[in-house]
Chain A
């Protein structure tokens, strides 16, 4: 991505400020992206990038995957930012949410109930974890981290015992099924008729949900009293406590929201893809990478990190599948080398 590139125009002499140069640069990027998506591709571009359908689908899939990663990673980054606690059991929360969503959805027949259950049950689990485990080990980062590894191993085996090793597919309701035609022409037939891109409706819903939740989180953090306390806690926990705020209550809220979002993502992601043992580690790893790239403790950073990783994974899968996995880690290594605190992270 072009985030690290310097604008070519220089500040001296030309009368263009640095800010204007950046604006100009992003305008060009936006124009190129818009052209790539909406124009009918010339033959040479199709030859280079397999086909327009493949490219645009990969980008859209990257965006929806980024949505899922954001949902999981935002809880992770919130908890870290506030409590300095790397919760390595976060992936287990995702998987447990997915299984609970499956059970509730399959028994009641209402998928939305499954989604709600995934959020609420995991929020409760989060509070219990905070009260029973993390409050007791407060200030002892290493022990907290080790305990969370232990919890994740025990949880993985318990879930394997209850739900077995098979793959579950959460059934989405009929109104979420099917594909929609996007206003994107992928090819023109010889008789002049345009072929439009079709895309699964459910995945668009996932993307929209992630954006709505992201905006909601931002508003909560920046426009509400609780959000103000959380931000204050991120900056200086002792001072917040000294000014009369019940820090433990704030911690419990953050943990509930973080764990609940992981559970929510589990149900939503399990419906888009599938649920099986091993997902916990996969999403833990994904959120770790997302948070390292985006910057620990920043919601905006989690969004940027999720976008980068989601797009890299899907585009890598299409264009160089064997080495696609490496791409994700290249992004991480480059970030760590250039900006060790992450793209939006604050140096501490």
Chain B
């Protein structure tokens, strides 16, 4: 019995050791890692990211550089350590040479740091949009073909001040790098236009009960800028409505995204008319966007319109495949040729042209939107204006932009 058990164990060990090399031996497939939040507060967002990535895979025929694409999924829960754990599993156990992900801001910074320890693997961002994933201390092998959270805000601060007439705005946002970046992008314009932000509430991610936060908001502001995502946004909006909140809202990019607009409950009344900005607009009538929406809707359980997570994963997955096509799927040199091709890659997306800057961060069009009720009763982001080709420094000289300091709870400030 003892011998039998031991030999079984040896057999199992041997299988475990040879399995990765067996997988590598198959030369006609190429593994691409897909890392997204399939658990935790951003589950819905991660699921839509996957739909976007699969839309790209299917659009390009499921092959990259003549090889069949095999998608290996990794799941995180929006915390940086879970993202690194999932990335390690994909790289070190599954042996992927190209990885698309992660989804959330802090995750992106953590995976970027991990990328530095794996120079032979090429990382493409998912939807994570913190500024410092690419701006300060970037990794040579981390590419972001989607824009960052500050870029997403282009045009919103000016619009809120000039067209909506909001002079003072209170901020409610989650307490991590992505909302810092969003608030930075919004305030950069809003404060420049002459607006004031007297109070900022930073709330822990995954908070459920916002009523105390709502009660502590100042009564004398013209509007409230909300940068919360997923379940957090739904909770805040419902409780804001329940508590009889009357100040109009200004939305962060993921606060008025399809992942929130489609939720069950009483968020409609407070959301209609909310201006926001981001990398997509639901009522965009450009043929490329309409074609993308049609392709996206073939995915299981798709939203009426792709969320910005589907969009970001689509663009980065497409960039990965286009890059692999250019090098004929050859990553045997540790991906050096692939990264060279990616750095030069520029292509037309459903939302206009995308190219990279020297930090491998995207320059792309940004959409100013407002929430309206669609023809069949669902809520949509109506396109107000396109801000063309926004770069990471928001059009400011790089040295001057760097001098503004890293985004944080207190930077910027204009009380």
Residues of A within 8 A of B (CB): 50-51, 53-54, 57-58, 61-62, 65, 160, 164-169, 171, 177, 179, 198, 200, 202-203, 272-274, 276-278, 282, 313-315, 317-318, 321-322, 324-325
Contacts and interface: CB of A to CB of B under 8 A. Distances in A.
Contacts of B175: 321-322
B203 interface: yes
Interface band, chain B = 35 or more
Contact of B208 (A51, A274, A321): A274
B209 A166 contact: no
Contact of A317 (B39, B77, B212, B265): B212
Interface string B185-227: 0000000000000000111101111011111100000000000
Contacts of B301: 164
Contact of B265 (A58, A61, A169): A169
A61 B41 contact: no
Given A169-B265, A277-B39, A61 B211 contact: yes
Contact of B41 (A62, A169, A278): A278
B44 A51 contact: no
B244 A321 contact: no
23 contacts: A53-B216, A57-B211, A58-B215, A58-B216, A61-B215, A165-B44, A165-B46, A166-B263, A168-B264, A169-B265, A171-B265, A179-B244, A198-B243, A202-B242, A274-B234, A274-B235, A276-B231, A278-B206, A318-B212, A321-B203, A321-B213, A322-B175, A325-B204
B323 interface: no
Contacts of B67: none
B209 A61 contact: yes
Q: Which 4 A-B pairs have the closest CB atoms?
A: A165-B43, A57-B215, A169-B265, A54-B216
B212 A278 contact: no
Contacts of B70: none
A274 B231 contact: yes
Nearest to B42: A165
Given A169-B238, A200-B243, A61 B212 contact: yes
A198 B244 contact: yes
B230 to A, nearest CB: 7
Contacts of A54: 212, 215-216
A164 to B, nearest CB: 8
Name the residue in A51, A171, A282, A321 with the highest tally of chain B Cβ atoms < 10 Å from its Cβ.
A321
A191 B171 CA distance: 30
Given A166-B44, A318-B216, A273 B242 contact: no
Given A53-B215, A169-B266, A274-B231, A322 B202 contact: yes
A32 to B, nearest CB: 21
A272 B301 CA distance: 28
A274 B210 CA distance: 11
B50 to A, nearest CB: 11
Given A57-B211, A314-B212, A321-B202, A274 B43 contact: no
A167 to B, nearest CB: 4
Given A278-B41, A321-B175, A57 B235 contact: no
Contact of A318 (B44, B213, B235): B213
A169 B211 contact: no
Contacts of A321: 175, 201-204, 213
Contact of B44 (A167, A273, A274): A167
A313 B203 CA distance: 12
B47 interface: yes
A50 B215 CA distance: 10
Nearest to A169: B265
B40 interface: yes
B206 A273 contact: no
Nearest to A313: B209
A184 to B, nearest CB: 12
Contacts of B234: 167, 169, 274
A169 B262 CA distance: 12
A58 B238 CA distance: 18
Contacts of B212: 54, 57-58, 61-62, 314-315, 317-318
B243 A317 contact: no
Given A54-B215, A61-B209, A61-B212, A276 B41 contact: yes
Interface in B235-290: 235, 238, 242-244, 263-266
A277 B43 contact: yes
Nearest to A203: B211
B263 A278 contact: no
A89 B115 CA distance: 37
B242 A179 contact: yes
Given A54-B216, A322-B202, A167 B211 contact: no
A313 B40 CA distance: 21
A321 B38 CA distance: 27
B173 to A, nearest CB: 11
A167 B202 contact: no
Contact of A165 (B47, B238, B242): B47
Nearest to B202: A321
B233 to A, nearest CB: 9
Given A58-B216, A169-B264, A314 B242 contact: no
B231 to A, nearest CB: 4
A322 B409 CA distance: 10
Contacts of A165: 38-39, 43-44, 46-47
A186 to B, nearest CB: 9
Nearest to A317: B212
Contacts of B38: 165
Contacts of B204: 317, 321-322, 324-325
Contacts of A51: 216
Interface string B86-122: 0000000000000000000000000000000000000
Contacts of A322: 175, 202, 204, 409
